[in-house]
């Protein structure tokens, strides 16, 4: 096909594109091929946009939790400024913690904007590229904190005297908002439902008694995991359903 696909064609409806090609007195066979190719390209672009959006959305809960933790540090810094006597060590610990959180937010937000990796894919990418293993499948922003940064910040907070009022601040707690937790429960539940259906289909066509016993035990475990997800899911979910039974 000699004719080059023009960018303007990608914004046209199929009927308008056919009219445009007919106006150029293009042979109907070639015009048909061009229309078909343009439709394919538009479908590919739609698929890429959906994938990019889905990938980007997979980071929302994780980044939301990190930003909420950073917001809590802002509040504590404001309170610390107003305290008498002023506690410089507490201020320094809060500032250092804020810097670490901001750095991880910036790094992960950049991955989100690129739209190339979900958290799970990014964990695999990091391991392949650097050999570094991100714990817990990278499901929480705390998982991406360097061990040296974590230890340094924890030591700074541990060195502070007990607060006269309220609770001592504990850095790097794996908290998650209720909507974010609910969304992760749904993702894991949907994935488990697919695995249950696959195991049950395999069980139906299997004639080997040992395989049947293995599949039956696996299916029962899956239903136990599904019951936990439906009734009492843990605050921090495991990467796969197997972790629900530990």
Same-domain status, 191 and 208: yes
- Average pLDDT of the segment spanning 69-85: 91
Confidence of residue 35 (pLDDT cuts 50, 70, 90): confident
**Residue 46: inside a domain, yes or no?**
yes
The answer as to whether 130 is a domain residue is: yes
Is residue 2 in a domain? Answer: no
Alpha-carbon Rg for the chain, nearest whole angstrom, is: 27
Structural domain includes residue 163: no
147 and 202 part of one domain: no
Q: DSSP 3-state assignment of 213?
A: helix
3-state secondary structure 216-234: HHHHHHHHHHHHHHHHCCC
Same domain membership, residue 65 and residue 145? yes
Domain containing residue 24 = 7-55
pLDDT: which is higher, 73 or 27: 73
Residues 125 and 187 in one domain: no
pTM for the model: 0.63
pLDDT-above-90 percentage for the chain: 47
CA-wise closest residue to 243 among 198, 194, 192: 192
Q: Are residues 63 and 146 in the same domain?
A: yes
Please check whether residues 66 and 154 belong to one and the same domain: yes
Residues 48 and 63 in one domain: no
How many domains does one find in the chain?
A: 3
- Co-location of 140 and 62 in the same domain: yes
Last residue of a domain, one of 114, 130, 158: 158
Q: Do 62 and 46 reside in the same domain of the chain?
A: no
pLDDT value at residue 114: 87
State the Cα–Cα distance between residues 170 and 104, nearest whole angstrom: 18
Report residue 144 as tokens. Answer: 């991406």
Is residue 166 in a domain? no
Q: Check whether 245 has a pLDDT greater than 50.
A: yes
Mean pLDDT, rounded, for 155-180: 87
Domain membership of residue 99 (yes or no) is: yes
Which of the residue ranges 45-49, 100-104, 197-201 has the most confident prediction, judged by mean pLDDT?
A: 100-104
Give the mean pLDDT of 159-170.
Answer: 86
**Distance from C-alpha of 244 to C-alpha of 236, rounded to nearest angstrom:** 10
**Same domain, residue pair 148 and 182:** no
What band does 51 get if pLDDT is binned at 50, 70 and 90? low
Do 45 and 85 have their domain in common? no
In angstroms, the CA 29 to CA 96 distance is 67
Task: Tell whether 135 is covered by a domain.
Answer: yes
The pLDDT score that the predictor gives to residue 5 is 80
- Examine the pLDDT at 1 and tell me if it is beyond 50: no
Per-residue model confidence (pLDDT) at position 48: 57
Confidence of residue 53 (pLDDT cuts 50, 70, 90): low
Residues 42 and 132 both lie in one domain: no
Q: What's the rounded Cα separation, in Å, for the pair 241 and 145?
A: 25
Tell whether 167 is covered by a domain.
no
């Amino acid at each position: 096909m000699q004719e080059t696909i023009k960018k303007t064609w990608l914004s046209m409806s199929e009927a308008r594109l056919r009219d445009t090609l007919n106006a150029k007195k293009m042979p109907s066979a070639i015009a048909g091929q061009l229309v078909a190719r343009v439709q394919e390209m538009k479908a590919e672009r739609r698929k890429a946009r959906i994938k990019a959006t889905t990938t980007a959305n997979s980071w929302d809960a994780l980044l939301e939790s990190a930003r909420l933790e950073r917001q809590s540090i802002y509040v504590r810094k404001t309170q610390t400024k107003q305290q008498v006597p002023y506690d410089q060590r507490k201020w320094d610990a809060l500032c250092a913690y804020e810097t670490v959180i901001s750095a991880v937010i910036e790094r992960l937000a950049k991955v989100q904007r690129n739209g190339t990796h979900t958290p799970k894919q990014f964990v695999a990418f990091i391991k392949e590229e650097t050999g570094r293993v991100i714990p817990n499948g990278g499901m929480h922003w705390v998982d991406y904190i360097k061990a040296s940064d974590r230890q340094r910040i924890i030591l700074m907070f541990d060195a502070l005297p007990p607060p006269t009022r309220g609770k001592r601040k504990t850095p790097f707690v794996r908290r998650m908002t209720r909507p974010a937790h609910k969304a992760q429960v749904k993702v894991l539940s949907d994935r488990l439902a697919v695995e249950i259906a696959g195991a049950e289909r395999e069980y139906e066509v299997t004639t080997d008694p040992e395989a049947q016993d293995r599949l039956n035990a696996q299916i029962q475990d899956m239903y136990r995991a599904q019951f936990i997800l439906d009734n009492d899911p843990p605050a921090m979910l495991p990467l796969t359903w197997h972790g629900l039974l530990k």
